[in-house]
Structure formats: C-alpha cells, structure tokens
Amino acid sequence: MSSTSDRPLTPEDYWQLLVENLAPQRLGTEVVSLADSHGRTLADDAHATFSVPPFDNSAMDGFAVRGADFGDDAGHDDGPWEFAVVADIAAGHTPTARGDVEGTAREEVGQLPPAARIMTGAPMPAWADAVVPVEDTDAPRGASAAPRTVTVHRAPKPGANVRLAGEDIAAEDLVVSAGSVISARTASTLAAIGYGEVEVVTRPRVAVLATGAELAAPGEQLSPGMIPDSNSTLLALLVREAGGQAVLARTTGDTAADFGAALPTDVDLIVTSGGVSMGAFDPVKEYGLAHGWTFEKVAMQPGKPQGHGMAGSVPVIALPGNPVSVAVSFRLFVRPFIGRLLGQPDSLASTTRMARAGPAWRSSPGRRQYLPGALLPGGSTVRSSANENLVDEGSTHGDSTAGGSTDGDGYDVVVPVHRLGSGSHLAASLHAAQVLAVVDAEVTEVKPGDLVQIIPL
C-alpha cells in the first residue's frame, strides 16, 4: 500500500485504489425461509421450478366456452347464445382425465353446447378456449348456485380472458440472479416460482470505531468540551441498511496505542470515523502509517481526508470524523464495499438519476460537491421549516423563501436541506436528507432549474 500523496484523487480513483488494496475474506452462505429473507443477498441464481402460471387458467369470473360454438361471430354482439352449464369450477380444482374438471358436474341440457362456470385463477377445462365475463351473460353476480343454462350476449374472441401456462415464466427460466437484494417483491416472485427457502450470503460482521476523547455516549450528561458520539450510531445503522451487521460499536482515545488496542480480529470489516486528517491528535492516521495503510486527499466536499488498510486479515476503511462527511463517505465507499462482500453488482450502489435544482447554491472550486438534499415533486415550490437553517422537506406548496420551482418537465426538485450547504459538521441536515446532489469540481454555482445528478441515500 502507498502512503499519503500530494495530488488529490477523484472519488472514482480513490474507490479503485481502495478495492485494489483491500483483500476481504470470502463470506459464507446460509439457508433462510422466505419470511426471513428480506434485505438479504441471494447467493445463487434462482430458476423457476415450474412454469408460471403452471396451467391454463381463467383471468376473470365468468363461463368457459368453446370459440367454435359461436361460429363466425367471435367478438360480436350478434347473440344471444344459450349454453348448458356442465361444471362449476372454483380455483384450486384440477382437471380430470375426461377433460372436464372436478366440481359439480352436470348433464348437458338437450343439444346445447357446453359451458362451465369458472372463477378467476381456476384451471380451464381441456375442451374450452375462451372465457365469457359474467357481465356478458344473464347469470347472477356474486354468491349463487351455478345455473343450469346461461345466455351469452357477446361472443368472446379466441383465447379471450385465458392465461396460458408459462406465459409469465417458463420452467427453468432464470428469474432472480445471484447478488440480488431480496425485497418484499422479490420474495413474492421467489414464492411464485416454487421457493420456500433460499440460500443467502452471510451478513458481514462489521466493527464500528469512533475516535476522540471528547466523545460521550448518546444520552449522557455532557461535561465541558464533550460532544455526543453520533457517528457510532450512524455507522452501525448504515451498516445494517447496507446488509451487514454491526457487531461492535465503541469509541477509542486519541492515541495510536489506544486505537490499535481497540482493533478487533474476529470481524469481516472495520469502519472508523475521525483521526485521519492533519491534526496533532489523529490516532488512526498515526497508527495506519506505521502499519502500511493508505491515506489520501480526495477531491470531494465533504469528506476530503480518507484512509484504508488491513488490520491483519481484516479490511479497514477509515473515514473522516464530521457527521456529514461520515454519511457521504459511507455512501460512496463503504456501502459499495459491503455490497462487494455480499456479491452484489457494483451498479446496485451506484444508481443515480437527474433532478432540477430548486434554489441556487454555491460549491467550492476544485472539489466535487455532494450536497445533502431533499426531493420535492416536479413543479413544487420550497419553503423554510420551523428551523430557519433547514428546508422543510415535507413542503410542496406555498411561497418559496429558499428557491424556485421546475418548469413542470417531470423532474423532481432537489433542495439543500441546510442553508449552509454541504458543510461537514452540519449534523442537523442528515435527518432531512434523502439524496446527495452531485456538483462537478469545475462548477462553483448551481442556478435554479439546473439539471443535477442525485444519488439516493
């Protein structure tokens, strides 16, 4: 690994350096039920165990019929046509070998062609190829006994209101790829293709260390010169959101010896905050330089000082100490690194889109700005919150004291959540932030209505 260089790196170059320098251990896998799979990362590709739907079934409540029984009148209103109701088919019944279905079988009435009353999702009789909606018949709606005959007022087109076996998914199709994060929607899809449990990647065990003798536990009475340790809470919960588990969260003193003694060995990743800059009490940097770690200036604001290295076999990512710097740095470097540990594609953590700037704001020259912002629907105006420093992220109407609105072209509006912009110390801005607004290093002023890239938090 290299030591600190004089030339600031771009965030992309620093990320590449971090990936090249850190050598994480491979994570294991475990099998969990679908009910316990939310937020987990799929370890193997999931293929359909059967076709979806697995059989031809009705898309509507109505009557299954043969299109040939309407002659050349398919799709027309030239009826009426009368049918004998020979079966009553509910969802969950299965076809019999005779081509009929289990249910209440009926004798044909005279020479009338057959129809079967059928419910949505019920299997189609083998002899039927279309379904007439109940609204196009004289049959009663709602709960009732199946009639002996039914009159159809509109002839269906061939295949009307029939879901064909496999039209959604064919058996053995690849449906969900390894590395996918399982959402409620993903779990539903996995259930639909025959899975009751899945193999997922074990959650990485992450230790969170905040440095600084000035740190007090959240909720403690503050002595003079002390501040609450908000970073440990922030990082532990960000780790959880990223798919890991924070197994340790502690503070360390302001000496390299204190820091080194606090480094655990039984985890998959260590994330630290503070102590990486140019101060007289920067224990992470002092310890890291003595152990071959890399420290760089990154051309970004906030979050300029960054570091990383290996503590034995455990990767360490060392972040700056101010809360907004921690949040931004985690989003750019730690979250995608945890994603890599889990086998997720890099694109999952790099999703961006565009929005229009609401108010104007300024950016420091020479560094890419990552401004904590709130999103408002396109065409919204912006107003201040009860705290004059913060934008009311819930406001979408009223007079604008913080900026303007879009021209109604469909882009959301992004607004700074703090009047002081992207200052690294502005902890109050984290609550309201939904996105990071990205301003290129050569841009010093963003004007109302400018298109800017945004990164979801």
Task: Examine the pLDDT at 283 and tell me if it is beyond 80.
Answer: yes
- Give me the CATH number covering residue 37: 3.90.105.10
Residue 174's pLDDT is what? 98
Higher pLDDT, 398 or 257: 257
pLDDT tens across 105-149, in order? 455 556 899 999 999 999 999 999 999 999 999 999 888 889 999
Number of domain units in the chain: 4
Residue with tokens 């061939």: 158
pLDDT tens across 32-72, in order? 999 999 999 999 999 999 999 999 999 999 999 999 999 87
DSSP letters spanning 143-189: S-PPPSEEEESSPPPTTTTEEPTTSSB-TT-EEE-TT-B--HHHHHH
Q: Are residues 381 and 399 in the same domain?
A: yes
Residues paired with residue 31 on neighbouring β-strands, in sequence order: 199
The token pair at 45 is: 């590709």
Q: Are residues 418 and 298 in the same domain?
A: no
What's the one-letter identity of residue 279?
Answer: G
Domain that holds residue 316: 11-28+203-348
- Residue 403: DSSP 8-state: -
3-state SS assignment for residue 317: strand
pLDDT tens across 221-232, in order? 888 888 888 899
Q: Are residues 196 and 48 in the same domain?
A: yes
Residue 98's pLDDT is what? 38
pTM above 0.85, yes or no: no
Q: Are residues 421 and 365 in the same domain?
A: yes
Residue 31 burial (C-beta neighbours within 10 Å; 0-12, 13-18, 19+):
exposed
Q: Are residues 80 and 140 in the same domain?
A: yes
Residues paired with residue 317 on neighbouring β-strands, in sequence order: 271, 308
Higher pLDDT, 348 or 155: 155
- How far, in whole angstroms, is CA 297 from its chain's centroid? 31
- Give me the CATH number covering residue 79: 2.170.190.11
Mean pLDDT, rounded, for 256-283? 90
DSSP β-ladder status, 62-65 and 114-118: antiparallel
Residue 80, preceding bond cis, omega within 30 degrees? Answer: yes
Let me know if residue 387 belongs to a domain.
yes
Mean pLDDT, rounded, for 327-336? 96
Residues 337/18, Cβ–Cβ less than 8 Å:
yes
Residue 97's pLDDT is what? 39
Q: Are residues 142 and 178 in the same domain?
A: no
Let me know if residue 306 belongs to a domain.
yes
b/e burial code for range 257-269 (CB count within 10 A of at least 16 → b): eebbebbeeebbb
Q: Are residues 341 and 211 in the same domain?
A: yes
Let me know if residue 129 belongs to a domain.
yes
- Residue 275: DSSP 8-state: -
Taking phi over 0 as left and psi of -120 to 50 as alpha, with beta for the rest, 449 belongs to left
- Give me the CATH number covering residue 415: 2.40.340.10
